[in-house]
Amino acid sequence: MTQDPVPGLLDEATRLLEGEFAALPGFAPVTALAADARAMERILAETARRLGDNYPYFHPLYAGQMLKPPHPVARAAYALAMYINPNNHARDGGRASSEMEIEAVGEIAGMFGWTDGPGSYLGHLTSSGTFANLEALWVAGQLAPGRRVVGCEQAHYTHRRISAVLRLDYGEIAADECGRMRLEGLEAELRKGDVGAVVATLGTTAMGAVDPLDGILALKGRYGFRVHVDAAYGGYFRLTADALDEPARRAYAALGAADSIVVDPHKHGLQPYGCGCVLFRDPSVGRLYKHDSPYTYFTSKELHLHPSEQKSLAGGPVHLGEISLECSRAGAAAVALWATQKLLPLTPEGEFARGLKRGRAAALELDRRLREDVRFAPLAAGKPELDIVVWAVRGPSAREASHHAQELFDACAARGLHLALVQLPGSWFGLAGGAESPPVAGGVTCLRSVLMKPEHEAWMGEIWDRLSAACAEVMSQERS
Ligand SMILES: Cc1ncc(COP(=O)(O)O)c(C=O)c1O
């Protein structure tokens, strides 16, 4: 694992934090007294050993799922906040961290072009992308009761499940050979006249595909429905949209016109897990969250709120707990996000955006090498839209291609290169159809690589060498 400056910095920040409370009379914390330092040391050593049983998510040779550790400043800020353990449900539980949440969420809203500050939109952090999407669909369902939600067949699987939890009917729209929602398919559903909300995904989980949001919004003008954008994975690519290919660039340019947006700081935003974010364009949807809670808001009335915040909720001051379905939420998550965005502002020309570009450059380079190698079948329709690459391994039939992919996945892992697997239609890789290559039910097993670490760019040579050698091994075993 690489060294980072966190231990020293955290000690210093902890001393400063203790200084903030220096006026309090001293006391002996019972937990610290009761805890035997040697026992803690032993348990932490055992913890470290147990944690060794993980894939090395921090290393560039881990290029499988959407996983990477948080930025060191996020880790340090989170750990610092743990001395307080604030709860951002209400300001009573997290006064400073609620302010930091409002500021950090405001910066995310600004990234999408919502720059008029708190009060011109509604937004907060959530424990996950799933919960953030649940809130967005919960709002959509209340605004259009009895109407359906539709999303692309490549949308995250939780949209169907969330809709079932909310008792909303959910329909799937077919994807094109790039994994994007087909607008003709959407329009056919819209003509039925019962669609209340469309989920557009900017950065699908399987392949980083970008639904044609601009086209979806044009249909909204004709048919009238809410547009929810699930940008849990791909939202931050808004910062680098100018460097994307045309269809994706147009989709990202339209993002500000969505009714709601979800983005996960715990995916591309360098945060520890437990950090999703939901944003609503119309702040008045806050009224839908209204509820009675006589025990949690006793300091609300004394709060110093921004005047725009005051007017954003009819009938009372904004309290993050009043605009969130979850009750307790980690204030530390907001603190970590705030600190990270201070260090790495969400600007197109900043270091953070450069990191996204490097991951995408790695994806394009892997795609280029795959296209030049006859052993592999990359996506026939074109290059990856973001930083996720999917490809099939050629075989005499789609069934054997699936088998090769599984074997290659294992052979790569044995060489320390960790990839992922995904089931996709064989025709997208030119594999399905034909007498010698019949389609396989459930699709063809393909390899998938999420190149979300900036280091992946410099490591592509090494990644390729291991992949290529593993493939040679699999093919020679196959022949013998
Ligand atoms: C596009 C998309 N939406 C939603 C989710 C769910 O997010 P979470 O795992 O944070 O609940 C994911 C997770 O991978 C995702 O990729």
Query: pLDDT by residue (tens digit) across 169-226?
Result: 999 999 999 999 999 999 999 999 999 999 999 999 999 999 999 999 999 999 999 9
Kindly tell me if the per-residue pLDDT of 366 is higher than 60.
yes
Residue 28: predicted pLDDT: 83
More confident residue, 303 or 395: 395
Model confidence at 479, pLDDT cuts 50, 70, 90, reads confident
Pair (456, 407) in one structural domain: yes
Least confident of 24-38, 154-168, 267-281: 24-38
- Sign (positive or negative) of CA dihedral 51, 53, 59, 65: negative
Residue 119: predicted pLDDT: 84
Asked if residue 83 belongs to a domain, the reply is no
Residue nearest to atom 5 of ligand 1 (CA): 129
**Shortest-distance atom of ligand 1 to CA 132:** 11
**Shortest-distance atom of ligand 1 to CA 133:** 4
Pair (99, 224) in one structural domain: yes
Pair (295, 164) in one structural domain: yes
HEC secondary structure over 218-266: HHHHHHCCEEEEECCCCHHHHHHHHHCCHHHHHHHHCHHHCCEEEECCC
Kindly tell me if the per-residue pLDDT of 480 is higher than 90.
no
Ligand 1 proximity of 340 Cβ (cutoff 6 Å): no
Residue 32: predicted pLDDT: 65
Among 156, 229, 260, 326, name the best residue to mutate to test ligand 1's pocket (greatest count of ligand atoms within 8 A of Cβ): 156
Ligand 1 proximity of 118 Cβ (cutoff 6 Å): no
Global model pTM greater than 0.85: yes
**Shortest-distance atom of ligand 1 to CA 234:** 1
Residues of the chain above pLDDT 70, percent: 90
Kindly tell me if the per-residue pLDDT of 265 is higher than 70.
yes
Pair (202, 292) in one structural domain: yes
CA angle 10, 13, 16 (to 5 degrees): 155
Q: How confident is the model over 57-73, as a mean pLDDT?
A: 97
Ligand 1 proximity of 265 Cβ (cutoff 6 Å): no
Model confidence at 304, pLDDT cuts 50, 70, 90, reads very low
Model confidence at 419, pLDDT cuts 50, 70, 90, reads very high
Report whether 113 contacts 252 (CB < 8 A): no
Asked if residue 7 belongs to a domain, the reply is no
**Shortest-distance atom of ligand 1 to CA 201:** 1
Q: Which of 343, 366, 401 finishes a domain?
A: 343
Q: Which of 343, 371, 396 finishes a domain?
A: 343
Instruction: Give pLDDT tens digits for 307-324.
Output: 444 444 444 445 788 889
Asked if residue 244 belongs to a domain, the reply is yes
DSSP state of 270: -
Edge-first strand listing for the sheet containing 260-263:
122-126, 276-280, 260-263, 226-230, 195-201, 148-152, 170-173
Model confidence at 290, pLDDT cuts 50, 70, 90, reads confident
Q: How confident is the model over 284-297, as a mean pLDDT?
A: 76
Pair (151, 291) in one structural domain: yes
Pair (256, 365) in one structural domain: no
Burial of 243 per CB tally in 10 Å (0-12, 13-18, 19+) = middle
Residue 435: predicted pLDDT: 42
Pair (286, 362) in one structural domain: no
**Shortest-distance atom of ligand 1 to CA 231:** 1
Instruction: Give pLDDT tens digits for 108-148.
Output: 999 999 999 878 999 999 999 999 999 999 999 999 999 99
Domain of residue 468: give its range: 352-479
CA distance 133 to 231: 10
CA of 186 to the centre of ligand 1 (A): 22
Pair (375, 328) in one structural domain: no
Ligand 1 proximity of 205 Cβ (cutoff 6 Å): yes
Q: Which of 290, 310, 343 finishes a domain?
A: 343
Kindly tell me if the per-residue pLDDT of 298 is higher than 60.
no
Ligand 1 proximity of 329 Cβ (cutoff 6 Å): no
CA of 386 to the centre of ligand 1 (A): 16
Torsion angle (degrees, nearest 10) of CA 395, 450, 157, 433 = -20
Neighbour tally for 356: CB within 10 Å: 21
CA distance 42 to 60: 31
* CATH number of residue 213's parent domain: 3.40.640.10
**Shortest-distance atom of ligand 1 to CA 205:** 16
Please state the domain count of the chain: 2
CA distance 441 to 248: 30
Kindly tell me if the per-residue pLDDT of 341 is higher than 90.
yes
Asked if residue 448 belongs to a domain, the reply is yes
Residue 477: predicted pLDDT: 86
CA distance 279 to 263: 9
Ligand 1 proximity of 233 Cβ (cutoff 6 Å): yes
Residue 316: predicted pLDDT: 41
Pair (335, 420) in one structural domain: no
CA of 320 to the centre of ligand 1 (A): 23
**Shortest-distance atom of ligand 1 to CA 130:** 11
Ligand 1 proximity of 158 Cβ (cutoff 6 Å): yes
CA of 286 to the centre of ligand 1 (A): 24
Asked if residue 430 belongs to a domain, the reply is yes
CA distance 345 to 335: 15
* CATH number of residue 436's parent domain: 3.90.1150.10
Asked if residue 192 belongs to a domain, the reply is yes
Among 65, 133, 134, 205, name the best residue to mutate to test ligand 1's pocket (greatest count of ligand atoms within 8 A of Cβ): 205
Asked if residue 308 belongs to a domain, the reply is yes
Pair (133, 228) in one structural domain: yes
Ligand 1 proximity of 201 Cβ (cutoff 6 Å): yes
Nearest in space to 173 (alpha carbons), one of 199, 197, 195, 150: 150
Helix axes 183-190, 213-223, angle to 10 degrees: 20
CA of 156 to the centre of ligand 1 (A): 6
Ligand 1 proximity of 154 Cβ (cutoff 6 Å): no
Pair (378, 424) in one structural domain: yes
Pair (118, 197) in one structural domain: yes
Asked if residue 62 belongs to a domain, the reply is no
Classify 289 in phi/psi space as left (phi over 0), alpha (psi -120 to 50) or beta: alpha
